[in-house]
């Protein structure tokens, strides 16, 4: 499969998973049925995997325009995305771990709403890191090639 096709598939998957998480959230908050809880907590790990694959896709391209500044850009991107992914995964695992000790903690509306906001913040951090890295990379490439002229 071509790289562009894979990118489109990942983007469509990301949108669909976000829609399914929102639908699960609405089902949980409005109808409070088990289907909504299952839908909500089942698609979260899939969403994490898709976000990590998007991070990996961008990270694997890298930039070799400059040995010094490229490493700084890549390091900043890697640190931001790694910390946000670890933090989000710890929140998810903590909620699932607490469910083992105290049943129905995952069914509490405040936990579900706070976790939804954690999802949104995690996605924002990821896309802001990608945006900043792309912007810094564009500046670096422009600076490098404008000096040669």
Domain coordinates in residue numbering, the chain: 46-148
Q: Is the pLDDT of residue 77 over 80?
A: no
Q: Are 107 and 29 in contact (CB under 8 A)?
A: no
From the list 8, 28, 26, the residue with the least C-alpha distance to 106 is 28
Question: Could you report the per-residue pLDDT of 93-144, keeping only the tens digit for each?
Answer: 999 899 898 888 888 889 989 999 999 999 998 888 888 888 887 787 787 7
Place of tokens 């669909």: 16
């Amino acid at each position: 499969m071509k790289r562009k096709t894979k990118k489109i598939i990942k983007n469509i998957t990301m949108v669909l998973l976000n829609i399914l998480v929102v639908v699960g959230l609405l089902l949980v908050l409005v109808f409070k049925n088990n289907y909504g809880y299952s839908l909500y907590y089942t698609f979260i790990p899939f969403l994490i995997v898709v976000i990590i694959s998007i991070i990996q896709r961008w990270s694997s391209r890298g930039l070799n325009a400059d040995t010094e500044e490229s490493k700084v850009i890549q390091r900043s991107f890697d640190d931001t995305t790694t910390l946000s992914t670890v933090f989000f995964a710890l929140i998810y695992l903590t909620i699932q771990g607490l469910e083992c000790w105290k049943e129905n903690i995952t069914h509490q509306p405040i936990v579900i709403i706070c976790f939804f906001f954690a999802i949104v913040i995690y996605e924002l951090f990821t896309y802001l890191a990608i945006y900043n890295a792309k912007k810094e990379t564009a500046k670096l490439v422009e600076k490098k090639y404008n000096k040669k002229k």
